[in-house]
Amino acid sequence: MESEDMFQTHTLALSTRILQCCPHVEPEQSLPIELTAISPFADQLMVFIHQFREADGGEVDIEIALREALANAVVHGNHENPNRRVHVTCRCSTEGEVSITVSDEGRGFDNRAVPDPTAPGNVEFTHGRGLYLMQMSMDEVRFERSGAVVHMRRKSAKVSPAPPRQL
């Protein structure tokens, strides 16, 4: 079975949860460890996210961060081991805030040891920009379980726009 066919058999499982402060919808899903599964998964999740956000340009940033986190989990976290999976939870509030958690089954990494891709000696490298792109695209990025879990959050433009990011 090709990865796209395999992915299509798994639709986003929606579990609606209502909190007193703000209602939100939180789909949870996992995807197989194949690079070809990332794009259809990200496309489907972005369709879901678009339902909760006003078009403010932030959707492009969210998609960049999502794709980078998925690729890092598949390649670096799970080392493309077909016996492992990547797990994703996405929380979208009715106000437009998006929180995405991507976790892999790997040992993690020390995110402080990742070289700064904007440093003069590193700008020529053709890899190593995933974490940087995630941090520049989202309002908040934090790691747990030694880097095997990444939490990313993008605030709603309706509530309070994010200040311009400094490079």
Strands 140-144 and 149-154: antiparallel
106 confidence band (pLDDT: 50, 70, 90): very high
Q: In this prediction, what percent of the chain has a pLDDT beyond 70?
A: 78
- Three-state SS for 71? helix
- Please state the pTM of the whole predicted model: 0.79
80 near 121, Cβ under 8 Å?
no
Q: Quick one: pLDDT at residue 27?
A: 67
For the stretch 47-57, pLDDT in tens is 989 888 877 77
Total Cβ atoms within 10 A of residue 24 = 19
Fold of 21-154: Heat Shock Protein 90 (3.30.565)
85 confidence band (pLDDT: 50, 70, 90): very high
For the stretch 6-48, pLDDT in tens is 343 344 444 444 444 455 566 678 888 889 999 999 999 999 8
Tokens encoding 24: 């939100």
Cα-to-chain-centroid distance, residue 135: 11
Round the average pLDDT of the chain to a whole number and report it.
81
For the stretch 128-146, pLDDT in tens is 889 999 999 999 999 999 9
Residues in contact with 133: Cβ distance below 8 Å, sequence separation at least 6, in sequence order = 64, 65, 68
Tokens encoding 156: 């709603």
Question: Whole-angstrom Cα distance, residue 104 to residue 147?
Answer: 9
In degrees and rounded to multiples of 5, residue 20 shows phi and psi of: -65, -35
